[in-house]
Copies of this chain bind each other. A is one copy, B any other.
Amino acid sequence: MKMTWNNLLSCTMLALAIHAGCPAWAQNLTDYVDPFIGTSGMGHTFPGACVPFGGVQLSPDTDTIPHNVGGRYQPEVYSLCAGYRYEDPTIVGFSHTHLSGTGHSDLGDILLMPTTGPLHLNPGTADAPGTGYRSRYSHSSETAHPGYYAVTLEDYGIRAELSTTARTGIHRYTYPGEGERHLVMDLSHGIYNYEGKTLWASVRVVSPTLVTGYRITQGWAREHYTYFAVRFSRPIRDYGCRESVASAYQGFWRKFSTGHHFPEMAGRGLSLWFDFDWADAAADDLTVQVALSATSAEGALRNLEAEGGSFDGIRASAGAAWERELGKVSAEGTEDELKMLYTSLYHTMINPSVYDDVDGAYRGLDGSIHQADGWNNYTVFSLWDTYRAQHPLLLLMHPGRARDMALSMLAHQEQSAHGLLPIWSLMANEGWCMSGYHAVSVLSDAVSAGIGLPGDRALEAMDATATVPYLEGLEDYMKIGYVPLEASSTGASTTLEYAYDDWTIYRAAKLLGNKSLAQKYRQRAFSYLHLFPFGENFAQARYRDGRWKKNFDPRQTYGEGFIEGNSYNFSFHVPHDVAGLIGLMGEKQFLRQLDTLFSEPLDPRYYADNEDIEESCLIGGYVHGNEPSHHIPYLFAWTSKPWKGEYWLREIMERMYRPVRDGLGGNDDCGQMSAWYIFSAMGFYPVCPGSGEFVLGAPFLPRMTLQLEGGKSFTVLAPGVSSRNRYVQRVKLNGKRLTRRYLTREDILSGGVLEFEMGPRPLKRGAPRQADLPYSLSRE
């Protein structure tokens, strides 16, 4: 049958119907989402409730106590990034802010925990839960659904349910029939918690049903302000706290018992309890709505006012919001495939998250309160990860939010003492995590997409960022073309990242007609060349005087000048000039190195000490959990053997993304891993964001449709695709044979159908036509 627009559309409708109808339990797309995927092992996701891109992520924390490391107690940094670890036997409580899938930790703000019986104001320990307010729980009592989480706290017999709006979390606690009932609010709780992390906490009991306050923490976010307003469904009967301090002159406070029924409690280690009036209670449930704000208690109150509601109402709205957002992708596949797809899609819509009040007031990087007019301020930009696929996906699917995120980055740059765009921005702080200045990639891509950004302002911010001399070796880089080891122990990978970033500035400058900047950054984009010794094929670190690092080992990640990736991986990090790189190595060597990377097992000594790599995360020496590898399987598209990429892409999809709780092959990294999955499932990927191109790989599902803004849709068909039928035989775009090995943004945004014909054997296509190859700077 010849595909025409009309019968394609019918196909799509049919497919939708098929999806909507099966399996029986899946009444909604949200039913495919399993928030527990990634909560064990490497994923670092949290199972709690949030709305798409919401500022509040209300989720259980299972432990945060410092761990005994060689006799010294140190806060747990890595394995508890999300606050929740599936293996942990107890729940400490429910806190309102969480990072999704990161490799470093913070937040866990404003912990609530309902309890019964004797009052505890400290969490206790997992091996002796009775010594604190924490409780045992069973996974069988847990329910997690987009926008909803519930668990039974076994030690208390309390059913705890959570839901959220963008700026509030709502808790419904159903207590057992008898016994003393308490609610604990521990403001000294946190993720990555250490003695003294809470610089100050302060709480006011405003009325029997309203409490406001704030705390300041010094965590990964150096100065993190969380204001809150809490509304209770029942009046407070009694309350008190541990460690409320008076002024430095305690004596003056002798008039009161500041620890009991004193309506303005404050201190560094503040932990509070509230008892409620149950006298007129027909039921045993307490609803608590907690609004957050980074600006002020009044901001939190306004957020509470604007987003207040009943538990069931809020839960329904949260579910509907997810249903709407997930509905932008429809697909055909097995239950497991759809589970993985929609859970991935879900994970691409948690971070970045809204970070402003309902009236647009937000805390800026300068610590001042600013006003966003006509846009929303966002935070949590894990840019070293997310510039690769997460932001390109958001740009395609959420252009309005992508614009606001770009504006948030520009505001950040304006408020930066350094004039720097965000590197790892969280909660009005720069976290400085990882290398490069990849916000320029996101901005360049956004400028080229024409979503209404002020281009010249963006270019100014990009140029300002790329010229801060004291940023990790940048002064040297600008002078000698690379970051020497003296300036940075990861100078080699940083050089490669700068070179790509600079290319994105070049593209934006060219587009905006700024010839001098275009010229400057075009030149800088070739800096990668300085890392390849003449006649050699691995990027290598060097010293300021030009000497190369001695005893170079391309498989070694540490000490060789690279970060989260060895030279074997990083030598391919020239996404903007793949042809140039191939020219340097020769295609034969290029392919040889790719083959070795994927197929030759990495000796365990290279990763034994690394907490974020396990053997199961490896495909040869390819580490999917480390983002610098993400574009590598697509590099085959520039060669005469694209089917090799098709093979490995299927391997990665199957082995690194399994719809079970420990099924993620690495930290989800604020959606980057998941966005990789979404693109790769469709058979294309933004190897070089800023080029406007999506390089073809191999589709994973028989059908996927993107519902685009403005009503258009883009459908990818791959009938019969399977683990066996993993090889692309032919590609048609809107019914016409596509020899190009990439799509343009226009191809997608115009709507249409991309059809892959799949087969069990590679289609050996011979040398490609130059015109069919994706972008390379050298060929421009």
Contacts and interface: CB of A to CB of B under 8 A. Distances in A.
A252 interface: yes
A777 to B, nearest CB: 27
Interface string A279-310: 00000000000000000111000000000000
A252 B488 CA distance: 12
Contacts of A9: none
A219 B200 contact: no
B472 A255 contact: yes
Contacts of A24: none
Interface residues of A, number: 56
B418 A248 contact: no
Interface stretch (A258-266, A403-411, A610-618): A258-266
Contacts of A221: 247
A199 B106 CA distance: 20
The DSSP consensus for interface residues of chain A is loop
B248 A218 contact: yes
A205 interface: yes
A77 to B, nearest CB: 8
A149 interface: no
A253 interface: yes
A417 B368 contact: no
A249 B369 contact: no
Interface string A419-432: 00000100001011
A205 B366 CA distance: 11
A471 interface: yes
Interface in A739-754: none
B248 A197 contact: yes
B223 A248 contact: no
A200 B216 contact: yes
Nearest to A471: B255
Nearest to A418: B263
Given A263-B417, A417-B263, A247 B432 contact: yes
A222 B256 CA distance: 15
Given A247-B219, A247-B431, A263-B418, A298 B252 contact: no
A129 interface: no
Interface in A371-429: 417-418, 424, 429
A104 interface: yes
Nearest to A369: B296
Contact of A297 (B197, B214, B262, B367): B367
Contact of A222 (B75, B194, B246, B424): B246
A288 B780 CA distance: 55
Contacts of A368: 296-298
A686 B204 CA distance: 38
Interface in A472-491: 472, 488-489
Contacts of A432: 246-247, 252-253, 255
A199 B202 contact: no
Contacts of A268: 199
Contacts of A248: 75, 106, 192, 194, 197, 218-220, 222
Interface in A210-259: 214, 216, 218-223, 245-249, 252-256
A194 B424 CA distance: 35
A488 B256 CA distance: 10
Contact of A247 (B75, B202, B222, B471): B222
A470 interface: yes
A433 interface: yes
B220 A200 contact: no
B470 A256 contact: yes
Nearest to A487: B255
B488 A255 contact: yes
A220 B247 contact: yes
Question: Could you say which of A77, A197, A218, A221 has the most chain B C-beta atoms within 10 Å of its C-beta?
Answer: A218
A245 B721 CA distance: 54
A411 B192 CA distance: 40
A245 B366 CA distance: 17
Contact of A252 (B75, B256, B431): B431
Interface string A297-336: 1100000000000000000000000000000000000000
Contacts of A194: 248
Given A223-B266, A263-B417, A264-B417, A297 B366 contact: yes
Contacts of A199: 199-200, 216, 268
Given A418-B263, A472-B255, A218 B204 contact: no
Contacts of A253: 432
Given A220-B248, A221-B247, A266-B223, A202 B433 contact: no
A479 B192 CA distance: 51
A477 to B, nearest CB: 13
Contacts of A219: 247-248
A328 to B, nearest CB: 35
A72 B184 CA distance: 36
Given A470-B256, A470-B261, A218 B200 contact: yes
Contact of A204 (B216, B366, B489): B366
Contacts of A297: 366-368
Interface string A714-748: 00000000000000000000000000000000000
A199 B215 CA distance: 12
Contact of A367 (B202, B218, B424): B202
Contacts of A488: 255
Nearest to A472: B255
Question: Could you say which of A192, A248, A432 has the most chain B C-beta atoms within 10 Å of its C-beta?
Answer: A248
Contacts of A298: 368
Question: Could you say which of A194, A252, A424, A471 has the most chain B C-beta atoms within 10 Å of its C-beta?
Answer: A252
A389 to B, nearest CB: 23
A254 B470 CA distance: 11
A367 B265 CA distance: 13
A123 to B, nearest CB: 19
Contacts of A220: 247-249, 252
Given A253-B432, A261-B470, A263-B418, 19 more contacts: A106-B248, A192-B248, A199-B200, A200-B218, A200-B223, A202-B367, A204-B366, A214-B367, A219-B247, A219-B248, A220-B249, A222-B247, A247-B432, A249-B431, A249-B433, A255-B432, A255-B472, A297-B366, A297-B367
Task: Give the 7 A-B CB pairs with smallest separation, nearest first.
Answer: A252-B432, A263-B417, A264-B417, A255-B472, A222-B247, A219-B248, A204-B417
9 contacts: A77-B249, A199-B199, A206-B417, A218-B247, A220-B248, A221-B247, A223-B266, A247-B429, A247-B431
